[in-house]
Amino acid sequence: MNQVFVVFLYGLATALATGLGAVPFAFARRVSPSAIAYANAVASGLMLGASFGLVAEGTDYGSWQTVLGALSGVAFIRLTQVLLRRHDLEFGKVRGGGARQMLLMLIVMTVHSFAEGVAVGVSFGGGMTLAFVIVVAIAVHNIPEGLAISAVLRPRGMSVAACAGWSIMSSLPQPIMAVPAFLLVDAFTRVLPYGIGFAAGAMVFLVLEELLPEAFDRARRPHVALVVSLTLVGMMVFQRFL
């Protein structure tokens, strides 16, 4: 089979794995209002952990580039946020602030998939020997990302199936970006730290600007803090063993 096609297929498989993140929500019977606080806390821990991992990888390629990328990621999300606030949004029967948060979450995670797709392509560029291991690792690593997305969408009224669908959608840039990155490894290796930083900056900003303040408003501080730090540690361990 054509190698380019293989890279694309592998990338697609990893995107589909993201949908699995919605599965735990199929077992939660009812979504209570305080659930938003804890779901936000879970998403925050997962995204902070993922960003720590990304930044650690990005600084291997270049620290300045990673940090510059992160600042542009922050600026991008801030701009999107301002633009979204200007409109009365409706998203999946949800209106107003909730709809804005859901959209922002999807935008951030989709943007982050672009960077991850580049990372996948570049790592394949080193040769196809480790390809299968890398694919399994990325696929498993995408599940908590689907979990984070569903944690934001589900308590605001999205159905489990729709959560899974949107999770997969947000990961589709991965196979799309993996192919050009695989073909043009040298060019993409140079932009990789910027892209990784961009993704990490966007995620951390969303966590600090939208998810955490709301979580602290809706539940007791020690509980929120406990959920965030436990998920963050869990995510770090998870990434490191894969």
CA dist 17 and 25 (Å) reads 15
Using rule CB under 8 A, residue 15 touches other proteins? no
Any idea what the Cα angle at residue 153 is, between residues 67 and 208, rounded to 5°? 30
- At its nearest, how many Å lie between other proteins and the CB of residue 233? 4
- Per the rule left: phi > 0, alpha: psi between -120 and 50, beta: everything else, 219 is beta
Going residue by residue from 30 to 49, which x/- string records binding to other proteins, judged by CB under 8 A?
------------------x-
Based on the number of CB atoms within 10 Å of its own CB, is 154 exposed (0-12), middle (13-18) or buried (19 or more)?
buried
How many helical (H) and strand (E) elements, i.e. helices and strands, does the chain have?
11, 2
Given 31, 35, 67, 169, the residue binding other proteins (CB under 8 A):
67
- At its nearest, how many Å lie between other proteins and the CB of residue 76? 13
Rule CB under 8 A: which of 68-127 touch other proteins? 70-71, 74, 78
Using rule CB under 8 A, residue 221 touches other proteins? yes
> CB atoms < 10 A from the CB of 190, how many?
13
Of 45, 80, 40, 33, the residue nearest 214 (C-alpha): 40
- At its nearest, how many Å lie between other proteins and the CB of residue 54? 11
CA dist 178 and 217 (Å) reads 40
- At its nearest, how many Å lie between other proteins and the CB of residue 160? 28
Rule CB under 8 A: which of 198-217 touch other proteins? 201, 204-205, 208-210, 212-213, 216
Based on the number of CB atoms within 10 Å of its own CB, is 41 exposed (0-12), middle (13-18) or buried (19 or more)?
buried
CA dist 235 and 104 (Å) reads 22
Using rule CB under 8 A, residue 196 touches other proteins? no
Using rule CB under 8 A, residue 147 touches other proteins? no
Would you say 78 or 93 has its CB closer to other proteins?
Answer: 78
- At its nearest, how many Å lie between other proteins and the CB of residue 86? 16
Residues that bind other proteins (CB under 8 A): 48, 52, 55-56, 59, 63-64, 66-67, 70-71, 74, 78, 201, 204-205, 208-210, 212-213, 216, 220-222, 224-226, 228-230, 232-233, 236-237, 240-241
